[in-house]
Structure 1
Amino acid sequence: MIHGLDVKGVLKDKQTRCEHYHLDVDIVAIKFKCCNTYYACCKCHDEDVDHLAEVWEKEEFENKAILCGACGTELTIKEYLNSMSSCHYCNAPFNSRCKYHSHLYFDLKRIED
């Protein structure tokens, strides 16, 4: 349990860092749409389940699906994507390189539609 929520994966600490991503700024867990479960990262998800991850659609970006490991606040997908790589609530920095694999979680190609 992290901040009262069950976060799955091979966690290294109580701020959602895992064996795959464990820099100081790797403090975001993502709720996977397919199983409605928080995981520390996509690799933790894939190692734990026997199904493919589903991406959140643009119409679902108001759902709370991001957990800040620093303060425990659940952010909406929209808040996270507009965050400029920090928590809107506690200002803890997030890993800016996560944007390179956000397509694994969110349907970003439809944002421009």
Structure 2
Amino acid sequence: MNIYGKQVYGAEDEETRCSHYHQETDRIALKCFCCREYYPCYKCHEEITGKPFKPWPAEYREEKAVLCGACGTELTISGYLTSSSRCPSCRSAFNPGCALHYHLYFEPKK
């Protein structure tokens, strides 16, 4: 699905929700480090590509790799991780439970 001019593979609505995560606040897509494509979640990436989602190395924290499904703003990884579960641009809430999966998307700083 094309969302704000970005292809988001596996998205089922215009705010980037998917079959795995579809609560009101599930409105981000994440760019995979290996393929540089957006997916709503690691499960979508694995189903579509047949490969695990490769997390971003810690030295890439200033790379834009998170897409807000509410307004289309691309956030840097560090911007997303320090956002307090809200888009800094439109203030839409993100699911705070996503923090449980950060290790799947972003390698920890050493």
Structure-1-length-normalised TM-score = 0.93
Measure the CA separation in 1 of the matches of 2:53 and 2:69: 22
Q: Could you tell me which residue of structure 2 aligns to residue 25 of structure 1?
A: 25
Unaligned runs of 5+ in 2: none
SS in 1 for 2:65: strand
Alignment of 1:1-113 (within 5 A): 1-9=2-10, 11-108=11-108, 111=109, 113=110
Q: How many correspondences in the alignment? A: 109
Gap regions ≥5 residues in structure 1? none
Instruction: Measure how far apart 1:53 and its partner are.
Output: 2.1
TM-score w.r.t. the length of structure 2 is 0.95
Identity level (%): 49
Deviation >3 Å, runs of 4+: none
Which amino acid in structure 2 is aligned with residue 95 of structure 1?
A: N
Secondary structure class of the residue paired with 2:100:
helix
Distance 1:104 1:13 in 2: 23
